[in-house]
Amino acid sequence: MSSSSEPASSAWPTPPRPCAAAHLPLDLHVDPREAIPALAAWIAGQPGADVRFGTHVTAITPAADGSSVTVSTNRGDVTGARVVHAVGHDVDRLFPALAKEIDLTRCRLQMLEVAPPVKEDLGPAFLTGLSMLRYGGLAATPAARDVKERIQASTPELLEIAMNLMLTQRPEGSLVLGDTHVDEDSTSPFDDERLAELLLREAKELFGQDLEVRRRWRGVYAHSASTDFLIASPHPAVRVVSVTSGIGMTPSFGLAPDVLDGLSWPAAAAGSVQPDLKTTHDDAAHAPVAALA
């Protein structure tokens, strides 16, 4: 932890400045705008891998003898010995009963990108006290209760909209500010400007200056109050996987091998996780469809 006498970064103007901050030097900041295409390109270069975009899965049908699974798409069928269905918040489209079991909802976030308020490099990410209440690992600490009481007394409206005031810096210096949260079964087309105003108000307070908004956008992720992870086996050869707490980018490199290791493979494929796609699709198209044999 850093305190006001030992600021986390000299970039903060005075006054006001944060009175304490978590300094996490080992944290890694991944820019999704670059990371996701880079990952898809890397996977496409692996032996036997085939990445398709624009391909919508419409049904997943295990063979009666359990030896294979057919994934039906808008561009033809894909057959594999094992199938992992990882569609984020859209689990309820093909597996409504699984979604209902954990009361899966769509969490809608509003975010802002603002012009660089400082010249300095702010480091990987900044979390505020509101983040302590949002993330399970921090929310479970005794200090979180005091933080909540303090915010409840000073700015209860932030708790009402489940604000997580945090920021990351883009390579050219602009800041991505997040975020506010609304849980709903299907996302409304309307964003609430009041939420964006509160987000901006708090960020201005943090930097002690006006901020120029460059972009506004929304994000959606899966949410469940009862679990952070959905890993279901509707059939021994099929896994339905979704991170239901808005932290999916973080544990994904542990979750993915865990799910794959938990699948029992037919004798021919045992000891090997080499994808062997058997496809009858009519177009080399586009969106993650994974059928591993």
Ligand X SMILES: Cc1cc2nc3c(=O)[nH]c(=O)nc-3n(C[C@H](O)[C@H](O)[C@H](O)COP(=O)(O)OP(=O)(O)OC[C@H]3O[C@@H](n4cnc5c(N)ncnc54)[C@H](O)[C@@H]3O)c2cc1C
- 57 half-sphere exposure, CB direction, 13 A CA radius: 25
Name residue 269's amino acid: A
Q: Which value, in Å, is the radius of gyration of the alpha carbons in the chain?
A: 22
Q: What are phi and psi of 36, to 5 degrees?
A: -70, -50
Sign of dihedral through CA atoms 204, 207, 209, 213?
negative
Shortest CB 119 distance to ligand X, Å = 24
Smallest gap from Cβ 66 to ligand X, in A, equals: 23
The residue among 88 and 275 lying less far from ligand X, judged by its C-beta, is: 88
Taking CB under 6 A as the binding criterion, the range among 87-95, 136-144, 157-165, 277-285 that sits at the site for ligand X is: 87-95
Q: Taking the mean position of all CA atoms in its chain, how far away is CA 125?
A: 15
DSSP structural state of residue 164:
-
Q: Is the Cβ–Cβ distance between 12 and 18 less than 8 Å?
A: yes
The CA distance from 158 to 165, in Å, is 9
Site for ligand X in 157-186 (CB under 6 A): 179
Residue 202 in tokens: 């708090």
Does 248 bind ligand X (CB under 6 A)? Our answer is yes
Kindly indicate which of the ranges 39-47, 196-204, 213-221, 265-273 contains the residues binding ligand X, using the contact rule CB under 6 A.
213-221
In the complex, the smallest distance separating the C-beta of residue 270 from ligand X, rounded to whole angstroms, is 27
Residue 112 CB contacts under 8 Å (≥ 6 apart), including other chains: 176, 177, 178, 196, 199, 200, 203, 213, 215, 216
Does 287 help bind ligand X (rule: CB under 6 A)? yes
Q: With respect to ligand X, which residue has the nearer C-beta, 26 or 270?
A: 26
**Residue 257 in contact with ligand X, rule: CB under 6 A:** no
Interface pattern 228-247 for ligand X (x via CB under 6 A):
--------------xx--xx
Residue 220 touching ligand X (CB under 6 A): yes
Q: Say if residues 222 and 230 touch (Cβ distance below 8 Å).
A: yes
Q: Which two tokens stand for residue 69?
A: 């699974």
Beta carbon of residue 208, minimum distance to ligand X (angstroms, whole number): 25
Q: Which residue is nearest to ligand X (CB)?
A: 248
Q: Does 88 bind ligand X (CB under 6 A)?
A: yes
| Size of site (CB under 6 A) for ligand X | 21
Q: Which residues bind ligand X (CB under 6 A)?
A: 56-57, 86-88, 90, 93, 109, 111, 179, 219-221, 242-243, 246-250, 287
